[in-house]
Amino acid sequence: MGLLDRFTRARAGRGAARGERRRVPTFSEMRARMRTERAEAKLMETEARIHREAARIRHDVRASR
């Protein structure tokens, strides 16, 4: 078995075709992704704050009865 055969057999099952490789995201795509993640985190925090406030109001209404 030659040296070239060893390399081609080792790579045979692992290499992806040229069109199937994962594309590296561009800087603007990464920035947009980070912006989206920050917006989602802010939305989740706002939602949690709303639920805490609603729970506090419900508790106050029940206590005043």
Distance CA 31, CA 37 (A): 10
27 belongs to a structural domain: yes
> Tens of pLDDT along 38-60?
999 999 999 999 999 999 999 99
pLDDT surpassing 70 at residue 10: no
Domain contains 41: yes
Residue 57's pLDDT is: 94
Q: How would DSSP label each residue in 1-65?
A: --HHHHHHHHHTTTPPPGGGSPPPPPHHHHHHHHHHHHHHHHHHHHHHHHHHHHHHHHHHHHHT-
The verdict on residue 46 lying in a domain is yes
- State how many domains the chain has: 1
pLDDT of residue 6: 65
The mean pLDDT of 6-32, rounded to a whole number, is 77
Within-domain flag for 9: no
Higher pLDDT, 35 or 63: 35
**pLDDT value at 22 more than 60:** yes
The answer to whether residue 40 is domain-embedded is yes
